[in-house]
Amino acid sequence: MSSADVHDIDLKAFKNDPYPILKYFRKNSPIAYVPQLNATLFSKHQDIFICEKNVEIFSSVQPDGLMTKLMGQNMMRKDGDAHITERKAIFPTVSPKTVKNFWKNQFVEKTNKIINNIGNKRELELVSEFSTQVSAEALKLITGLSGMTWMEMDRVSQGMIDGCSNYIGDPAVAKNCDDCTRSIDLHIDAQLKHPNLHDSPSLLSSQLDAGLSMETIKANIKLAISGGQNEPRDAIAGTIGTLLNNDSQLKMIKSGSKSWLQAFEEYARWMSPIGMSPRRIAKDFNYKEVHFYKNDMIFFMFGSANRDEEIFQNPDHFDISRDNRSSISFGAGPHFCAGAWISKTLIAEVALPLFFSNFSNVQLKKTLEFEGWAFRGPKKVILENWDK
């Protein structure tokens, strides 16, 4: 355990709304040990920005971590050359060029289908009836697991997320996580026999082309599923709900003076879908008068950095007009989100514009509520006055 000041937190309150607690940390104890999380939290933008790049100390390799044990050692749990090799291997899947020339049209086709299936409902719950499907259909394309249903994609993603945060060792959660990883393995095995395997630049196809081992390929596909389903799901529903709550800002986009991308990027700053990324201290180290010991766990709190008063004016306010180039919603180091370009295109060029052009007369029926601190998103987004 590091020598940082010790601060207890109420985990329930933290899950409900981490921002007041993180604000307190930024002001009073920017590097704080939190017993309830058994980790030292970095809450200031500058510290995260500097330390995340120092991979000699702040290592991603966590052999005893739940993610490695349950999903295999994926690229998010590797440093240096081992990590770079795998990032290069998946570049043909996630590059801006592939997203523009290959994935975008398919995202449009899938999203239009989902919108048409919604029909003439008077009331719609956005997370379960729209954004979950949009996100899962995109992920089926990107991973290459076309045989999976969108419901199964969402189920296995959530099952792995739950498994990776199962610190109390609940056997039911562990069993369900095993079932989810097994389902993914079976889908990969089935896809390997598919004659059209190499017809798309999917994660499966790109990694096979690069000659990665099957163990690594499977681990990285599980990573993309655990990290690529709920963020777009939450960001699509959250941005739509938040814009409906801020009508004047929605009007600016509709009139063309602001863009859907500005709305998504501001949402991702303001309600960071991934609030933290963990690291392990590789060797004893001092930083800002705090002593860290080998194997201490560190949490880089991206959600807190994105509301740092020294970087953003009036940071608790959602404002699509602000300059948010300094936000680190996708990370700030070598593990910068591999799916960033995919997400920007799927959310800002496809899901948001198609949704609002098809449903121009919707309103929020209930107040928006968010939950989560490591992953954060809207609980439900209920809309009414359906005029499609």
Angle between helices 247-254 and 230-245 (to 10 degrees): 100
Considering the complex, state which of residue 339 and residue 372 has its C-beta at the smaller distance from ligand HEM: 339
Write the CB contacts of 11 (distance below 8 Å, at least 6 apart in sequence): 36, 37
Considering the complex, state which of residue 167 and residue 336 has its C-beta at the smaller distance from ligand HEM: 336
Phi (first) and psi of residue 284, to 5 degrees: -55, 145
Tell whether residue 338 is a contact of ligand HEM (CB under 6 A): yes
CB of 14 to ligand HEM, least distance (A): 18
Q: Which of 4, 235, 298, 348 binds ligand HEM (CB under 6 A)?
A: 235
Phi (first) and psi of residue 57, to 5 degrees: -105, -50
Tell whether residue 335 is a contact of ligand HEM (CB under 6 A): yes
CB of 28 to ligand HEM, least distance (A): 25
CB of 343 to ligand HEM, least distance (A): 4
| Complete DSSP assignment for 140-198 | HHHHT-TTS-HHHHHHHHHHHHHHHT-TT--HHHHHHHHHHHHHHHHHHHHHHT-TTTT
Near ligand HEM by CB under 6 A, which window of 27-35, 174-182, 185-193, 226-234? 226-234
Token digits of residue 266: 């501001």
Q: Which of 232, 224, 246, 228 is CA-nearest to residue 348?
A: 232
Strands (E), 89-154: 123-125
Tell whether residue 343 is a contact of ligand HEM (CB under 6 A): yes
Q: Which of 211, 357, 336 is CA-nearest to residue 274?
A: 336
Tell whether residue 163 is a contact of ligand HEM (CB under 6 A): no
Tell whether residue 301 is a contact of ligand HEM (CB under 6 A): no
Tell whether residue 156 is a contact of ligand HEM (CB under 6 A): no
Query: Cβ–Cβ contacts within 10 Å for residue 97, how many?
Result: 10
Near ligand HEM by CB under 6 A, which window of 204-212, 247-255, 285-293, 332-340? 332-340
Q: Is 307 helix (H, G, I), strand (E, B) or coil?
A: coil
Considering the complex, state which of residue 253 and residue 298 has its C-beta at the smaller distance from ligand HEM: 298
Tell whether residue 75 is a contact of ligand HEM (CB under 6 A): yes
Tell whether residue 329 is a contact of ligand HEM (CB under 6 A): yes
Tell whether residue 224 is a contact of ligand HEM (CB under 6 A): yes
Residue 227 in contact with residue 371, Cβ under 8 Å? no
Q: Which of 350, 334, 342 is CA-nearest to residue 98?
A: 342
Q: Which of 134, 186, 140, 179 is CA-nearest to residue 160?
A: 179
Q: Which of 232, 238, 241, 372 binds ligand HEM (CB under 6 A)?
A: 232
CB of 8 to ligand HEM, least distance (A): 26
Considering the complex, state which of residue 120 and residue 165 has its C-beta at the smaller distance from ligand HEM: 165
Residues in 79-108 at the binding interface with ligand HEM, rule: CB under 6 A:
87
Token digits of residue 135: 């996100």
Q: Is 378 helix (H, G, I), strand (E, B) or coil?
A: strand
Tell whether residue 333 is a contact of ligand HEM (CB under 6 A): yes
Residues in 257-296 at the binding interface with ligand HEM, rule: CB under 6 A:
268, 273-274, 277
Considering the complex, state which of residue 174 and residue 261 has its C-beta at the smaller distance from ligand HEM: 261
Q: Which of 231, 212, 219 is CA-nearest to residue 65?
A: 219
CB of 233 to ligand HEM, least distance (A): 9
Tell whether residue 238 is a contact of ligand HEM (CB under 6 A): no
Residues near ligand HEM (CB under 6 A): 52, 75-76, 87, 142, 223-224, 227-228, 231-232, 235, 268, 273-274, 277, 302, 329-331, 333, 335-339, 342-343
